[in-house]
Amino acid sequence: MTTVQIRRPRIPYETVESFWATAGPALERIFDSPDIPVDIETYSSVYSKCFNYQNTQHNSKVQKRSSPSQGVGNGLQVATPVPTVSGPRVDSVHGMAGYRKVDDFFAERAKKIFDNVPDDSSSDLARYIVTEFARYSTAAQISFRMLSHMQRMFIALRVQEGYGWSLVPVHDASFLAETREYKAERWGYRKGSDSNLGTWDEVESWAEAGSALNCIVPIPSLAFRRFRIVFLEPLLLSDRLSIAVGELLTSDLPEDMELILSMRNVFRRSGIDPENLVRVKLELKAQ
SS (H, E, C) 174-203: HHHHHHHHHHHHHHCCCCCCCCCCCCHHHH
The string of DSSP letters for 14-45 reads: --HHHHHHHHHHHHHHHHH-TTSPPPHHHHHH
- H/E run at residue 107: helix 96-115
228 has a pLDDT exceeding 70: yes
pLDDT at residue 166 in the model: 85
In this prediction, residues 205-234 reach a mean pLDDT of 97
Q: What is the pLDDT of residues 134-154, one digit of tens each?
A: 999 999 999 999 999 999 999
pLDDT score, position 21: 97
Contacts of 158 (CB under 8 A, 6+ apart): 93, 164, 216
Read off the pLDDT of each residue in 27-38 and give the average, rounded to a whole number.
96
Q: What's the CA gap between 263 and 272, in Å, rounded?
A: 11
- The candidate with the shortest Cα–Cα distance to 138, out of 100, 109, 103, is 109
Which of the residue ranges 116-125, 140-149, 257-266, 270-279 would you say has the lowest mean pLDDT? 116-125
Segment (H or E) for 158: helix 156-158
22 vs 50: CA distance, rounded Å = 9
* 48 occurs within a structural domain: yes
Residue 200 has pLDDT above 60, yes or no: yes
The verdict on residue 198 lying in a domain is: no
Tally of domains in the chain: 1
List CB contacts of 98: < 8 A, sequence separation 6 or more: 16, 19, 20, 50, 53, 54, 57, 150, 154
Range of the domain at 131: 16-57+85-164+212-285
On whether residue 1 sits in a domain, the answer given is no
Say yes or no to pLDDT of 76 above 50.
Answer: no
As a whole number of angstroms, the distance between CA 170 and CA 157 comes to: 10
pLDDT band at residue 4, thresholds of 50, 70 and 90?
very low
Is the confidence at residue 203, as pLDDT, over 70? yes
Under a CB-based contact definition with an 8 Å cutoff, are residues 221 and 209 in contact? yes
Q: Determine, yes or no, domain membership for 27.
A: yes
What's the pLDDT band for 7 if we cut at 50, 70, 90? Answer: low
pLDDT number for residue 88? 44
Distances from the Cα of 125 to the Cα of 38, 138, 263, angstroms: 30, 20, 11
Residue 240 lies in a domain: yes
Highest mean predicted confidence (pLDDT) among 47-61, 215-229, 246-260:
215-229
In a domain, 200, yes or no: no
Would residue 176 count as lying in a domain?
no
| pLDDT band, very low/low/confident/very high, at 244 (cuts 50, 70, 90) | very high
- Computed over every residue of the chain, the mean pLDDT equals 85
